Amino acid sequence: MDEFRKLVEIMARLRAEGGCEWDRAQTHETLRQYLVEETHEVIDAIRGGNPEPLCEELGDLLLQILFHAQIASENGQFDITDVISSISEKMVRRHPHVFGDATADTPEAVSRQWDHIKKTIENRSHESIIGGIPQEFPSLLRAAKMSKKAARAGFDWERTEQVLGKVEEELSELKEAMAEGDPAHTEHELGDVLFSLVNLARFLGLSAEVAMVSVNERFERRFREMEKIAAETGCSIEDADMPTLDHLWEMAKKSTR
């Protein structure tokens, strides 16, 4: 706790008269991009599997929370103590199976209980069953959240095979739209394919967003390796034909496994 208080004091000093002009100039709005960036850097550190970078990145993310709390404190709204008290009360309230007499012996039961508490005790009900999902979420994550909420209301398949069938159905409709040559219709059907894949990921217990992040990283790693191999062999990727590029790609895949 002494270290935490020290960090709170550092943040206050940076924002005070005679502190850092950059820190003093920040607002909730200007800090949004850094909050997103630091969150993604934490995710990267988790993926890397090394505890030291994760420790550092969690510290950077914590600093962003303190930054926002300090600004709010200066505006007479709340401070970091209020933030901590709020989340402490919420955690106790939303875990009556731990801190009370309720029973929830599976993750699914806990999730249903969580939703019930939000709707009743906390009065956080929305006009729609799938409401309350931030528009700023990445599209794949938002699709996953919506489909999960719809599934809890009973709007869902029963078996993974049914979801696979939906994926195949949407792919067929995408092919038809492509054959028609209508860009708007093709975009519509492509969206349906992506949404059905998000549902498939949910049925498999996976995150489509995490899978997409992983494949982006994998593609970047392999393409960079392909560039490296090409340079070592005196080959220009820009001028290479497709068979050569395929060969370089396979070499890169083997090298980065």
| pLDDT tens track for 212-223 | 988 998 999 999
Query: What's the pTM?
Result: 0.67
Q: Give the whole-angstrom CA distance, residue 167 versus residue 178.
A: 16
pLDDT tens-digit map of 43-97: 889 988 999 999 999 999 999 999 999 999 999 999 999 999 999 999 999 999 9
Please list the ranges in the chain whose pLDDT falls under 50: none
For 213-223, b/e burial (b = at least 16 CB within 10 A) is: beeeeeeeebe
Domains of the chain are 2-87 (1.10.287.1080), 139-206 (1.10.287.1080), 210-256 (no CATH)
Q: Give the whole-angstrom CA distance, residue 10 versus residue 70.
A: 11
Tokens of 244: 């050569």
